[in-house]
Chain A
Amino acid sequence: MLRNSRSEILVALVLIAPFCAVYGLVFVYPTIKMLLLSVTDAPLIGPGEFVGLDNYTRLPGERRFNTALWNTTYFVILSVVPGTIVALLIALGVNRLSGRLQALVLALFFLPYILPVSVVYRLWDWTLNFQFGVAMHVLDWFSIPRIPVFKTTTWFMPAVAFVTIWWTAGFSILLFLAGLRAIPVEIYEAAALDNAGRWNTFRKITWPLLWPVTALVLTIQLILQLKIFDQVYLFSFGGRPNDTMVLVQYVYTRAFVSNQGGRAAAIAVTLFFIVIIVSVLQFQLLRLAGNSGKGDDK
Chain B
Amino acid sequence: MTAANAGRWNLIGLSITLLTVFLAVLWAFPLYWGIVSSLKPENEVVRPYIELWPDTFTFEHYIFALTETEIGRWYINSIATAAGITILTVSTSMLCGYALSQLQFPGRKALYLLILASFMVPTQTLIINHFVLIANMGMLNSWAGIILPQLIHPVVIIVYKQFFDSVPKDFREAAVMDNASEFRILFKIYMPMNWGVTTALSIVVFIWSWNAFLWPFLAVTRTNMMTITVGITQVNDTFGISYASQLSAAVLAGLPVALAYLLFQRRVTQAITLSAGIKG
Residues of chain A at the chain B interface (Cβ within 8 Å): 1-3, 5, 7-9, 11-13, 15-16, 18-20, 22-23, 25-27, 29-31, 33-34, 37, 44-45, 90, 93-94, 96-97, 101, 103-105, 107-112, 114-119, 121-124, 126-127, 129, 131-132, 134, 137, 166, 171, 174-175, 178-179, 182, 192, 195, 198, 213, 216, 220, 223, 226-227, 229-230, 234, 248, 251-252, 255-256, 261, 264-265, 268-269, 271-272, 275-276, 279-280, 298
Contacts and interface: CB of A to CB of B under 8 A. Distances in A.
A15 B207 contact: no
Interface in B144-166: 148-149, 151-152, 157
A227 B214 CA distance: 11
Interface in B212-250: 213-214, 218, 228-230, 232-233, 243, 246-247, 249-250
Interface string B247-279: 101110110011011100100110011001111
B143 interface: no
A26 B130 contact: yes
Nearest to B230: A118
Contacts of A269: 125
Interface in B16-52: 16-17, 19-21, 23-25, 27-28, 30-31, 33-34, 37, 45-46, 48-50
Contacts of A104: 24
Given A12-B103, A268-B126, A96 B120 contact: no
Contact of A261 (B121, B132, B213, B251): B132
Contacts of B131: 44, 255-256
B112 to A, nearest CB: 11
Contacts of B260: 114
Contacts of B19: 93
A276 B121 contact: yes
B95 interface: yes
A280 B117 CA distance: 11
Contacts of A103: 265
26 contacts: A1-B176, A8-B104, A11-B99, A16-B105, A16-B111, A18-B91, A23-B152, A30-B126, A30-B129, A93-B16, A97-B21, A114-B211, A114-B257, A115-B211, A116-B254, A118-B233, A122-B247, A127-B34, A132-B45, A175-B273, A178-B273, A216-B276, A230-B213, A248-B127, A252-B127, A276-B120
Contacts of B207: 114
Contacts, number: 279
B20 A93 contact: yes
A2 B173 CA distance: 9
Contacts of B129: 29-31, 33-34, 37, 265
Given A115-B258, A122-B247, A175-B273, A108 B25 contact: yes
B93 interface: yes
B82 to A, nearest CB: 11
A248 B125 contact: yes
Contacts of B182: 7-8, 11
A93 B23 contact: yes
A119 B253 contact: yes
Nearest to B186: A15
B37 A126 contact: yes
A127 to B, nearest CB: 5
Contacts of A226: 122
A118 B233 CA distance: 6
A20 B93 CA distance: 10
Nearest to B133: A30
Contacts of A129: 243
B20 A96 contact: yes
A118 B213 contact: yes
B20 A123 contact: no
